[in-house]
Structures are given as structure tokens and as C-alpha cells.
Structure 1
């Protein structure tokens, strides 16, 4: 088993199977550009690519390596919509906001697929994902979920009940499932590396190992780095959970959270397909959900759990392996080859935070565990807003950025207490 937490890519299965990529030199000296993007993950590179396609001179600054954070180490699942769905948005923020966000809820998926096709990105794209119900209450929720998504025009859905679930997941844990045939899964690090190469093919410049140490607002914005400076007409802050004190305005109303993933030894195609016959990705419907899928080399990737505040457990396999064996008891003899943690950014209302500071510093963050698709949408909306089409960006920017009860001191224990309550409900099926 391999575990790592240094400034290079975490020692994950993704890093071990990443496509070749050049080392991008750190910034030396002063440069000027139209847009400086801080963070070379999905949000930053999606924005950079959309802007480069529109002819902007783009410089991307990455403190570590391209895809170092959540973008290069997540579960690799293409899950539509947001961490809070449109019914919650409509109840809390009104029908107009729900309609605006609902019209975009499935767009991130389409952007990913368009990028893969246009730029020939090799990232093991596979179709299909499903939401698995562990009890009757969750199954009722999936029936309602299907009706909700269909009301917003998404119809590539199929309900499975009882034994029919085993057509997709050979496990006794689930009483039903909702299949989204438009969803899917992929190798996220290779996707982000492919988009970095696409940005560079259009004249964009990416500097790795170049943390931003200070931001001086103005026109232009000045971004200091250890050995250089960028002067930019506009800036995109896309560090998500990794801004590390340089933008206090973006930190007080969000919380870093950790999740853990293990990857088995190769199972062989026959044994792997016996678990997931049609190679769909799966996430269950629990509050602290499990998620899993197969890799291109027939391993099982299995993740789950949340550590509020982002701390890593001492033994990741000890945390996640029991979850895997509860789902697939026959894997007790299987070796775990990789185990790693990732940090995502959670907001109180579980909706992403978009906005603009000082008229020329744009940001998008806080996807609350549903970032693979929404990050790609965020990049497009930032590019639209910078080119005079603000309406769709503003639909997100108008959502409130709520403070956690108790402030930064109490947000972790209070969130953990709330999670315990919902986890207990899940266990009891109520």
C-alpha cells in the first residue's frame, strides 16, 4: 500500500498511471497578461481554456503540480447537477433561481465530453453512473429525484428495484437504484493534464511550483510569487481549498473537508465485471456516502467518508476497507495497492460560491463534493462573464455565501455533530 502527502502528486493510482506531461517551470521575473488564473485544477483550467479559445492571453499559476488537488485525486465520477438539487434551491431561493441553475445542471457533463473529443484527451471515459438506495426511504427519494430531473429536461434515467439492481451492482446492500445513462466516469488526473496541454496549444502559459504569496488589487492586479510577479487586467481565483491565506474574503464562509480512497490490486476483467457488470460508477444515497467504480486495468476504486477540517486519518485502508467489504464481502482476500486522501471545499448550503471582488477578481469554489462537472461549468461561466455575458454567472453569484454557525472555531465540531445525526438516520433507515 502506498500513501503520500507531499508537494508532488499524491501517490495514487491516478499518479501511477498518468499520461506523460512536461514539467512546467516556476515563474521567474515579471510578466503581463489579460487574465491570470490561480490554480491549475478543473476550475482554473476550464476557465483558462475557454478564455484562450476566445483569444485572451492567459497565464496560469499553480503552487504545486497541474491537478495536484481534488481535480487530480477524486473519485472520477461524472455526476450531474449539484450537491443540493433543484427542489432545495427552489424552496430556499425561489423558482427563478431554480430554473436558471436547473437549465445549467447537466451542462458540465457535456463540456467535459466536448473537451475530450475536441482535444483528443485520453482519460478512460466510460458511460453510466447510478445512485444506489440502501433502504426504502432512500428508494422513495430516488423516485422523486427522477421526477425532479425529468421536470428539468433530463430524461436519460432508469429506475431499478429489488433484484434488478444486481444487473448493475452485485451486492446485497441495495434495495434499488437510479441509473443515469448520461453520466459516467474517467481518469480525472489525465483529464486535467489533457486540458492543461490544450491551454498551452492555444498560447496559454502554465507555471508550476509557483504559489501566489500576495495579491494587490487594482488595475492591473499584481500577484506576487516567490521569484516573480504577474500583472493582469483580470484574475481568476481557482484554488478552492488551497488558497492558504492569500484571499481571506474567500475563506471565512467555507470549510476544507477530507475524503479517502483506496484502490485494489488488479482483479482481472472477469472478477471485476462480476462486481459491476456494465462498468457503471456508483454512489450510494447516504449522507456520508460511499462511491466506487472500476478502472481501465480492472481494479476497484472505493472511497467514502468525510473528515471535517481536512485532516487525514492515520490509516486510510483501515477506514475505507470495511466499507468496501460491506458492499462486496468477497473482496476480503484482495490486496489494496493505493490509498490516499483528497481535500474538497464545503459550503454551509452545499452550493458553489461564485463572485467578483473589486470588479476584476473572479472566483468559483465550494462545490461540496460534486465538483467534477460543476467546475467545468464554472470555467465557461467565468469566461462568459469576462466577455460581457454575465447573466448565467450572476445566477450563481446571487446565491448567499452563508457563514458556518460558531465561526471558524466551531465549524468543524458542529458540522461533525450534524453529520453524526444524519449518519445515524441513514443507519436506522429513517
Structure 2
């Protein structure tokens, strides 16, 4: 594949031309592999710190993977709540990680403002709950986040309290995050790539990496190679067969998204305030309206990263359950994409060799955590290693069963959470 998948984002992208592929042998101070949020922002953070001669390699086009296909929601935090992180990794690490829980969103807003990135940034996100258990969870969430110095949440109880934001009969209440939001993710990462280039960085597209020599720090593609002083591996779920040691740490997971036709006044009626929404189930739905008045609706997962047989058949019933008014709405775009899941559901950064860094496994919170971890990597490379050492010291575990059994074992484990969602316990 040499271009983006046929998504709403690709159809409305600000930039549709291609950069040239790498040809021949070159040298670089830093070579970053993968031009998604992690790789692009690591390169940009380094350029902002004065690092010269940075090369960014992308297998297809900037934002081709999860960074250009996701739901576009600025969801603060991680896939585990802050008190769970502190219990799991210790109070000291927990305080550092918890203090940074909304930093990714702050970085995004600063990027958009500094570089004038046109990505339809909208503030506010809402997590909706179906039952009393989830509402109690929201209360606990507020108390926990307040203890880490984050006070941007508001509890909304009942349909009346939700109605300024979402009009649906499914929900018992919600949790409003005033520091959340949503945007056009492909236009964001494209804008960040352009900012990197404006600072002297170089991007090669359609330059899939075929091999990485960790000793000589040589990165090879089909038509060229880069000899670098430092390498950053940011291919996430799309770095196939290059470094198997990394692949055992993550599982590619496919999620599905679709976008309706422009709905006119109905879109504003269903989502009056314009915040984005996701529910509190383990297998969650997420949705928002676009500037053109479409409803963008996503959900479901396919472990192992295989394409769904039909995105519309999988997602449309979920949308109609939430909004019966959309039973006859036309679907103009439907697509899927892979993100990387870790066994702990917590992102991982570290090094495979001296001056060879990696970051992956954002586990469904990639829009924000990628920006945080990109900054963390850039700080480490330029000498400030405090936050990096905290994240890199966290234990990781390979998926049990290896390649053969990791998918069925993960599915079996997920049944328990699906049952809890259905029973409301």
C-alpha cells in the first residue's frame, strides 16, 4: 500500500501529496522509525531542542497507522486508573506518572496554537455510564484524580444532566472532562510533521524499514539506509518482522470506525455541546460530531489485528442502539486500523541497546500518551532522563502462549469483562 486507507480523515486531509522515499546511504544524528504521533513528535521535540540532522522514516505516509485512523479523542490518563498504577508500580512511580496524566493533552493544545495546525480542535469529552456501578466508578475517579492535583472533572447524574451534551436514553449519567476534547488526528500529525520540517528535519515516505542493526545503528530500507548515532523505534503495531523482541511485548488490535452523511441540525440535536463521548464499558463505543455535521462512531475490537469482515455491519447496530434516530442515515466512510495492546494495558518505553530507544503499546489511549512519551524520549536523548527512567523501569510481560495462543487467551480473559458490562456489576 502506498497511500492512506479510504477514511473520512484521508478524504478531508489538509495534505494529500507524497514525500519522496529514501534512496541511497545517508547519515543522521537521529533516525526515527515511524511517522505517527510518537515518531513525529519525538522528532519535533528533538528539533525544538536544537538537535540537527534528524531523519524520520515512514513505511507509507505520515499518519498512515493508528495516528491517522483513530477516533480523534483527547482522553486524558492511561488505560489503568491512577490509583491502580500506584498500587501496581509503587507510590513513588505512581506519583510521577499520575502527575503527568493530562500532559499529553496539554502538549497537543500547545502544538496546535504554536504552529497554527488546522485540525478542528474542540474542547471537552464525556464518559457515559450505564448503571450504578459505573456511576460509583466516576465518583472514585474524581476523588483519585483530585488527589493527584487534577480537578477538571464534573459528575453528571441522570439524563437531564447529560442532555446539554448527549441526547440518548441509554445512559444513567456521565463524567465530563473539561481538559479532554477531540480533533482531526490525521491533520494533527500532518501539521506536526510540517512543523518538524520547518525546523530542518527530513521525512522520507514509502520507506518501509527492512532491517535494523543495533550494533552499528544502521537502518535499512528497500532502496537505502541510514547510519545514525541514535535510533528511535516508533512503529508500534505496524513494525512487522523487523525486531521480533519488540513484537512479543505487544498485540495488534483492530478497532472500527465509520462516519455518517452530514446530518444537518440532527447532529447538533444529538450532541448539542460538541463534546466527544465514550462509554465506560470494557468494550466501549465512542462517537462525536465533525465540523460538517457528520456523526463519527467507533467501537469493537478484533484481537490480533485482523480486518473486520464488515465495519458497517459491526458498528451500525451500536450506533442505532445509542441513537435510534439514525436508523436510515447513510454511511459515507467506514475503516479500521490497528493499535498496540500490552499485557499490562500500560505503554512501554525503553532501550534495546545503547542509544536505541523504543515506545509502543499505548493500549487505546494513544492520542495523548504518544505525545507525553515522545517528549519523554526527547528529554532522555538530550540528557534529562528523570521521567524516562521512571517509565522505563516499569516491568513488562510478554503475552502468554506466544504468537499461537496470545489471541485466544486474551479473548478468553476478556469474556469476564464483557459479562460484567452486561450484568452491570
Which TM bucket (shorter chain)? over 0.9
Match of 2:137 in 1: 141
Structure 1 position 22, deviation (Å): 3.8
Aligned length: 423
Structure 1 position 21, deviation (Å): 4.6
Match of 1:3 in 2: none
Matched, 1:16 2:25: no
Matched, 1:61 2:57: yes
Structure 1 position 407, deviation (Å): 2.3
Find the partner of 1:162 among 148, 158, 164: 158
Structure 1 position 7, deviation (Å): 3.9
Match of 1:173 in 2: 170
Query: How do 1:31-430 and structure 2 match up within 5 A?
Result: 31-56=26-51, 57-163=53-159, 164-219=161-216, 221-268=217-264, 270-430=265-425
C-alpha distance in structure 2 between counterparts of 1:173 and 1:395, whole Å: 41
| 3-state SS in 1 of match to 2:163 | helix
Post-superposition Cα deviations, 1:60-116, rounded to whole Å, max 9, x if no partner, equal 000001000000000000000111121111111111111010111111101001110
C-alpha distance in structure 2 between counterparts of 1:8 and 1:265, whole Å: 23
C-alpha distance in structure 1 between counterparts of 2:273 and 2:289, whole Å: 10
Alpha carbons 1:344, 1:366 under 8 Å: kept:
yes
- Structure 1: give runs of 5+ residues left out of the alignment: 1-5
C-alpha distance in structure 2 between counterparts of 1:93 and 1:33, whole Å: 36
**Pairwise CA RMSD:** 0.9
C-alpha distance in structure 1 between counterparts of 2:258 and 2:390, whole Å: 37
| 3-state SS in 2 of match to 1:173 | coil
| 3-state SS in 1 of match to 2:410 | helix
Under a length normalisation based on structure 2, what TM-score does the superposition of the two structures give? 0.98
Structure 1 position 158, deviation (Å): 0.6
C-alpha distance in structure 2 between counterparts of 1:150 and 1:130, whole Å: 17
Post-superposition Cα deviations, 1:260-313, rounded to whole Å, max 9, x if no partner, equal 001000001x21111111000001000011000010101000000110001111
| 3-state SS in 2 of match to 1:302 | strand
| 3-state SS in 2 of match to 1:145 | helix
- Structure 2: give runs of 5+ residues left out of the alignment: none
C-alpha distance in structure 2 between counterparts of 1:253 and 1:20, whole Å: 34
Alpha carbons 1:21, 1:193 under 8 Å: kept:
no
Which segment is superposed worse, 325-334 or 158-167? Answer: 158-167
C-alpha distance in structure 2 between counterparts of 1:351 and 1:326, whole Å: 31
C-alpha distance in structure 2 between counterparts of 1:381 and 1:389, whole Å: 9
C-alpha distance in structure 1 between counterparts of 2:227 and 2:141, whole Å: 47
Structure 1 position 20, deviation (Å): 2.4
C-alpha distance in structure 2 between counterparts of 1:312 and 1:375, whole Å: 24
C-alpha distance in structure 2 between counterparts of 1:121 and 1:16, whole Å: 18
Under a length normalisation based on structure 1, what TM-score does the superposition of the two structures give? 0.97
Alpha carbons 1:354, 1:397 under 8 Å: kept:
yes
C-alpha distance in structure 2 between counterparts of 1:310 and 1:46, whole Å: 25
Structure 1 position 405, deviation (Å): 2.2
Post-superposition Cα deviations, 1:120-151, rounded to whole Å, max 9, x if no partner, equal 10000000001100111111101101111111
| 3-state SS in 2 of match to 1:342 | strand
